[in-house]
Amino acid sequence: MKTNIANTTIFTFIFCLLGNFPVKAVEPSEALKLAQQLNQAFVEVAESVSKSVVEVRVSKSAENYQMQGEQFRNSPFFDQLPEDFRKFFEQQPQQREQPNRSREPIYDGQGSGLVYRDDGIIMTNRHVVENSDKVKIVFKDGKEYDGEILGVDRESDIAVIKIDATGLKAAKIGDSSQTKAGEFAIAIGSPFGLKYSVTVGHISAKGRRVLTDQQMFDQDFIQTDASINPGNSGGPLVNIYGEVIGINTLIRGMNTGIGFAVPINLAKRISDMLIKDGKVTRAWLGVSITTLREDVELRDLAVGVEDGVVVRQFIPGGPAENSSLQLADVIISIDGNKVKTAEELKRAIRYKNAGDSIKIGLMRDGEPKEIQFETGAFPEEFTAVTRSRRIEEKPSQEPLEAELLGMRVQEISEDLAKRFMIDEEEGVIVVSVKKGSVAEEKSITPGEVVTRINSSEINSIETFKKSFENEDLKKGVLVHLKSNGSQRFEVLKDY
């Protein structure tokens, strides 16, 4: 008994003695500190950027709404949505079809947007607001404003809205050209009506081209794995510095981790045009092009150049028709900046203004050249020119003629000009094409005028024959053709 009392006394004394000394707290590791700092960075970015993010509500006519709703519900991805989300979209048309006894518009469509300028300019997606009757802009603090659509651009899917407000907190605009794959990406918006949702991911890639059921977007997109869902459209994609680097636009299926955003540099340029003019005027060269390395037929004939962009065809009415540019030229630079692919050339022209004078560096017949070129305005309603195949007719006499790999030609006469409905009075015209020949494989048709073979101008049967008499047809020759105002070339090889 005495022993137990003694032990208890000793234990109590030691406990009290130790209690007088502070126990040193375990310091978090450097890795944990870094994670905590990163976590705080995400929180600060979300809080800061959200002040410049808005919800875009739209009211559409019954016809427009029904068409849009059917397109979404017929999507193969609709059944992959969670049950609550499917109900959300299924209930909307039912609510819209109910009789509206009030004259107040029903804002039953929604997307996201951002404050582009502090004087009430809002940037969003074209597909969010197009065909809407009314637009309402809602801020995080609950303030609502009626919006006026200043302009929309289908090609880039960008739209600009004006509200009657000043002193707004404009989003901090970054530089998408400096964005790199692997960087953090933060998407903010209102997916499925869930306001101011924040998702985090990375930049997966840059320079993506996107094909949808409706169209091929002829521009670059930023790809991200930050979750983007219906309702995120028009909202910002930002970097870790809180700078907007893109406008969230598209997704590739549900829960795939593949989303796309319009680069902010392009969105800014488009928005400025819409604000100023209400429309977008794009520069163009008026040519069809291919990347030289991908042009299997021509790359073997190109001399002194390995990378560049081949001028394949002149578009009728385009600026190239009356320029110093020639078919089969290989473009290697624009204003001193190298271009190696068709996409790089398009990107270089995309940021030019219609009417700009640019310097084109090119290779022609193995010789480097530089030409000045004035860009034109891309037609608002552009329709690809197609050639109609004319019925071949036998001539009433035996004119001078020649043949090249299944393509039979004659010198242009008054009768031939009338028969094929062409304006040319001299030169060489295709009068027939053999079935199964190389010329037929290249879709050469009667009525097309041969203007050049390799570097030789063709104005008679004699020049036609001389142009390839010393050429290796197994290597191929460049045949320049003109039809219905359109100019192009084909490579004919004797396989």
Is the residue at 102 inside a domain? no
Is the residue at 69 inside a domain? yes
Annotated active-site residue 233? The verdict is yes
Is the residue at 40 inside a domain? no
Same domain, 418 and 372: no
Query: pTM for this structure?
Result: 0.65
Burial of 135 (0-12, 13-18, 19+ CB in 10 A): buried
H or E element at residue 275: helix 264-277
- Tell me the Cα Rg of the chain: 33
At residue 247 the predicted structure's pLDDT band, cuts being 50, 70 and 90, is very high
Q: Which token pair is 69? A: 């709703």
Query: Residue 330: which CATH number?
Result: 2.30.42.10
Q: Are strands 283-284 and 287-291 parallel, antiparallel or unpaired?
A: unpaired
Residues linked to residue 290 through DSSP beta bridges, in sequence order: 310
State yes or no: pLDDT of 285 exceeds 70: yes
Annotated active-site residue 127? The verdict is yes
> For residues 216 and 240, is the Cβ–Cβ distance under 8 A?
no
Same domain, 269 and 291: no
**Catalytic residue of the set 127, 132, 227, 483:** 127
Place of tokens 């050339």: 345
The residue with greater pLDDT, 477 or 69, is 477
At residue 99 the predicted structure's pLDDT band, cuts being 50, 70 and 90, is very low
Lowest mean pLDDT among 109-118, 292-301, 459-468: 292-301
pLDDT digits (tens, 9 = 90+) for 344-363: 898 888 888 888 999 999 99
For residue 149, the model assigns a pLDDT of 93
For residue 486, the model assigns a pLDDT of 83
Task: Supply the mean pLDDT for the chain.
Answer: 80
- Which residues are within 8 A (CB) of 404 and not within 5 positions of it... i.e. 6 or more apart? 439, 453, 464, 468, 477, 479, 492
3-class secondary structure, 48: helix
> CA–CA separation, 439 vs 461, rounded Å?
18
For residue 77, the model assigns a pLDDT of 42
Phi, then psi, of 122 in degrees rounded to 5: -115, 135
Query: What DSSP designation does 173 have?
Result: B
For residue 391, the model assigns a pLDDT of 32
Residue ranges of alpha helices (H) inside 311-445 are 342-350, 414-419, 438-441
**Catalytic residue of the set 59, 153, 156, 157:** 157
Same domain, 52 and 201: yes
For residue 165, the model assigns a pLDDT of 93
Same domain, 371 and 416: no
Is the residue at 112 inside a domain? yes
Phi-psi region of 447 (alpha: psi -120 to 50; beta: other; left: phi over 0): left
For residue 361, the enclosing domain spans 283-377
Is the residue at 38 inside a domain? no
State yes or no: pLDDT of 102 exceeds 60: no
Amino acid letter, 120: G
Same domain, 75 and 112: yes
Q: Domain count for the chain, please give it.
A: 3
Averaged pLDDT, 424-440: 87
Same domain, 181 and 308: no
> For residues 422 and 475, is the Cβ–Cβ distance under 8 A?
no
> CA–CA separation, 425 vs 419, rounded Å?
13
**Catalytic residue of the set 176, 233, 323, 467:** 233
At residue 178 the predicted structure's pLDDT band, cuts being 50, 70 and 90, is very high
Place of tokens 């593949």: 258
Is the residue at 360 inside a domain? yes
pLDDT digits (tens, 9 = 90+) for 209-236: 665 444 444 578 899 988 777 777 889 9
At residue 144 the predicted structure's pLDDT band, cuts being 50, 70 and 90, is very high
Q: Where are the beta strands (DSSP E) in 71-191?
A: 109-117, 121-125, 132-138, 144-153, 158-163, 184-189
Averaged pLDDT, 104-110: 72
Same domain, 358 and 426: no
Same domain, 293 and 260: no
